[in-house]
Chain A
Amino acid sequence: MSQFISVQVGQCGNQIGSAFWPLVLNEYGIQTSSNSVQLLKTQKDHVKNTRELSEAFHSFFHVPGNKGDLSFKTLADLNAAKVKARTVLIDMEDSVVSRYRQGPLRGLFDQTCSVTNYPGSGNNWAVGHYTHGTEYRDRIDETVRRVAEKCDCLHGFMITNSVGGGTGSGLGTAVLSFLEDSHPRVDRFVSCVFPSGTEDVVTAPYNVLLASRELLEHATCVFPVENKALLEICNAQMSKRENIDQASYNGSCLPFQDMNSIIVNMLLHLTSGSRFPGSLNMDMNELATNLVTYPKLNYIFSSVSPIALTASTMPTIPGTKMQDQLFTDAWSRSNQLLKTDPLSPGSVILSAAHVVRGTTSLTDMRRNIKKFQSKARFTRWSKEAMKVGLCSVPPFGHPASLLCLLNSTAMSNMLEVIVQQFDKLYSRKAHAHHYLEVNGFEENHFHESRESILNLSKQYIELQIQQPMNIPRLQLL
């Protein structure tokens, strides 16, 4: 069974992590309720796939002594069996990581899997990347090695961070290249949070640009997420009456739980094909082959439906209508984890993947793929570039769900905004001296990163207006 190591860097990365682990346990049927935390509810007709779930338990957790029975019921069982999460927690300030050590799940994490320090990176990418990157490289490598040694088939690193700040952005991208050096054959999937336009961090445009370039160079696939999009989803969805369970669960958790749970939902779905059986498996290492059509075009749009992790309190009608609704929702703007619409007019789809968990049929799948092919615009060659995954284990509480991943030229819009905001700040050279003071950082890094993001954006645009080639097929004499 394939295994994943979650690498959480910086405050945001670790907050996503703190939403991730209880929900993972929840998916595996382990209740994480402690005093205030409420359970997520399941639908009445929910089928428990106990066997598949327990077989896949290794994916995120290390169980010492390789016991046969992995169907744990409670946290106490986990602690008794000395189960550890496969994770590396990295932060340059202690506040979030230390909460892990005091929280209800503290048994899953130990001192050896975290690298922390005080007092942070001052929202400075260069400090995170160079100062901390150099200083902590050995410790981080060592920690990763220890966790990786406990995996017998390591499949991928899932890196969560934000790109607006200093630690997640700077050190996070440094960690990415450490991983590339130490485990060149293991895929690196990054889901990173892009700050919303109204910045709480003045230097965010610098950090975003510098980090984006690193992601481009060193990640297998990047699943960017925008705070603004998450916020809108929360406002629209979580307030709905049918999602009251989710809302009360979120309320009982740490701040940003509602937004982070959307990312977690996406990550759980993304890895489902590697963890659970299905009639058409989609392994994580297939993602790059299917979605990265040309080198470096590795920024992927993602959307999930349904958005809420808990079962809706409204009855859902299973069957064709529900299936179609899943697809329609996933293509709609309101379910996108980015503000940019991958299906916006003018943009073209380079490749697409649809992964269904739970009950579905080929008939439903084919009908909706056809619908998608008539709805979206494609290049001359990409119309049939469709990846389909069917996973038999639905997410906790739902009969079925859908993850839609798109590589669309609309990504150029987001990249242009990144460059524009950088230019606005850099034209005044505001705060630039803080970066130049850092040992290892040179002014050229700004220019190179800007160039590289602009190039990527251009590459998308070129594909968008690509003139179809008409080279006739081979002629045989």
Chain B
Amino acid sequence: MLTLQFGQCGNQVGHTLFSTVAQDLYSANTGVPSKRNSDYVQAGFDTWFKELSKNGKHLARAILVDTEQKVVNTVCSSNESNSMWNYSPANIVCCAGGGSANNWGYGHYIKGPQLSLAALEAVRHEVERADTFQGFLAILSSAGGTGSGVGSYLMEKIRDEYPTKTMASSIVFPYGSGEVCTQNYNTLLTLAKFIDITDVAILFENDQIHGICENLTKVPNTNFNDLNHVIGQKLAAVLQPVLGTTNILSTLVHQLTPHPQYKIATIKTSLLALPSCQLYDGNYKWNSIVWHLKQMLRAPALNLNLTDMETKMPSNSIPSRTDFAYSKSVSNILITRGSSIGNDTIVPVELNDEKLYADWVPHVEKIAHLHQPRKLLGKDKTAALVANNSQLHRPIDAIVDKAWNTYIHSAFLHQYKQHGVEEDDFLQAFAKIENIVKVYRELCSEEIIS
């Protein structure tokens, strides 16, 4: 698997992801016999890393793309000392002379083409040297200019060159209260591109991740490092080796996206093992964990705000009242890690509930369960649910709403026009995203989608 890290957020999250993965592969507390563990470790290293560097460090299968050096420098230098892995210097594709100005147009039409030759060369090199190439994983945020603009330009190019390879993307949505003045435009344009280019887009919302940090870690002051750790752990919980498949990326895509109109997903996790979190408790039964994951898919009742269950710990007592309303999914994948024995086995039957799925989803395609007895990061139990669910229309809808409001008052548009993004391009992006909002929203209604 080749990871592509775009922009500040992509590089920081990517770095956290690789650190998490390396830490997990070196973890001594495995919970499985050593033969089994070595298979796991072998598979993990094959997925994420290539050969050793001269000084004996694992080199990440990753390309770092940014329009300025500071983030990449910081990320690379933090690996120089006591770390088991590093990036290949040849895989750092950076151009100096100013970032992408928080402008999707500038990133896509000016910076992207500038970086394209070097980036594609690095990609070819990496793909050629992989024995069994799984696919691409792009990591980026949609708020700024580099991740969003350069990212979508390069992913388009890569798609042209590798039309049949699996491409997944993880896109981080900015805080609703604002990180960048043009974030809604950038997110809109990015999503419109990625929905066409990649096979599945995994969304992370900073607001939601922030909630998880604040509630689960109990650390009073959250910073971006904490957010990156949550995202890194979620990705690792899904993408680390599991039994029954050697290509987790394509398994994800096949299971999650049975219909070409539904290509976005989110990762729900129960029992995250955050470095700053002392609250980890592996004593929960798998039943409660599966129930906990199910509760994360609940639909809010009319006019009521639902507590995000992901910001809570699981509970061992399953309430007797179970007639909750749920947001419908197109498909779900449950990925569990840890021992499943005796009176505490994993039975994903709760997640097979008809109430969780749109009517037209065939019974066999509803849920897949992947398991790995080896502990993740030395924690007894971890569970992740990758959901292609109707809930996703909410954050996207909110962004379209704000972007549309700004658009009709034609604010900031001149910044995009000077780089060749015309009003018509915006309209097309709006149409595309409105369609996504519509189809995801309608999953929950009784209408039958043609």
Contact = CB atoms under 8 A, between A and B. Distances in A.
Contact of B210 (A276, A279, A362, A476): A362
Interface string B405-421: 11011111011000000
Nearest to A370: B177
B404 interface: yes
Interface in A156-191: none
Interface in A413-472: 466, 469, 471
Nearest to B226: A362
B284 interface: no
Contacts of A154: 97
B98 A387 contact: no
B102 A276 contact: no
B178 A384 contact: yes
A388 B214 CA distance: 20
A312 interface: no
B50 to A, nearest CB: 28
Contacts of B220: 363
A387 B222 contact: no
B113 to A, nearest CB: 15
Contacts of A202: none
A475 to B, nearest CB: 8
A364 B223 CA distance: 9
Contacts of A364: 221
B101 A288 contact: yes
A155 B414 contact: no
B306 interface: no
Contacts of B182: 289-290
A142 B341 CA distance: 79
Nearest to B180: A387
Interface string B96-109: 11110111001000
B435 A476 contact: yes
A216 interface: no
Contacts of A473: 400-401, 404, 430, 434
Contacts of A379: 409, 411
A385 B177 CA distance: 8
Interface in B79-103: 96-99, 101-103
Interface stretch (B24-32, B66-74, B132-140, B296-304): B66-74
A385 B178 contact: yes
Contact of B222 (A155, A363, A474): A363
Nearest to B207: A366
Contacts of B415: 288-289, 292
Contacts of A388: 178-180
A1 B99 contact: no
Interface string A352-396: 010000000111101001100100000111101111101000000
Contacts of A286: 99, 101-102, 145, 180
A399 to B, nearest CB: 14
A290 B179 CA distance: 10
Contact of B409 (A277, A281, A283, A380): A380
A155 B98 contact: yes
A277 B408 CA distance: 36
Nearest to A391: B70
B352 to A, nearest CB: 32
Interface string B219-248: 011111101000000000000000000000
Interface of B is mostly: helix
B163 interface: no
Interface in A286-313: 286, 288-295
B10 to A, nearest CB: 13
Interface string B158-182: 0000000000000000011111111
A285 B99 contact: yes
Given A289-B102, A382-B411, A471-B408, A279 B177 contact: no
Contacts of A2: 68, 96-98
A280 interface: yes
Contacts of A155: 97-98
B176 A152 contact: no
Contacts of A366: 175, 177, 210
A476 B224 contact: no
B8 to A, nearest CB: 6
Interface in A41-76: 55
Nearest to B182: A289
Nearest to A151: B97
A153 B414 CA distance: 26
A370 B431 CA distance: 31
A351 B223 contact: no
Contacts of B401: 473
B92 to A, nearest CB: 15
Given A155-B97, A361-B221, A362-B224, A280 B179 contact: yes
Contacts of A466: 409
A283 B405 contact: no
Contacts of A55: 73
Contacts of A384: 176-178, 183-184, 402
A388 B400 CA distance: 21
Contacts of B70: 1, 276-278, 281
Given A283-B98, A361-B223, A387 B178 contact: yes
Interface in B32-77: 68-71, 73-74
27 contacts: A2-B68, A2-B96, A153-B96, A154-B97, A276-B70, A277-B71, A278-B70, A281-B70, A283-B68, A283-B101, A288-B101, A289-B106, A289-B415, A290-B181, A361-B221, A364-B221, A369-B177, A379-B409, A380-B405, A381-B409, A381-B411, A386-B181, A387-B179, A471-B408, A474-B427, A474-B434, A476-B435
Interface of A: 1-2, 55, 152-155, 276-281, 283-286, 288-295, 350-351, 353, 361-364, 366, 369-370, 373, 379-382, 384-388, 390, 466, 469, 471, 473-474, 476
Given A285-B99, A471-B408, 15 more contacts: A277-B73, A281-B8, A286-B99, A289-B101, A289-B103, A289-B181, A289-B415, A295-B414, A362-B223, A373-B177, A379-B411, A380-B409, A381-B409, A384-B184, A476-B431
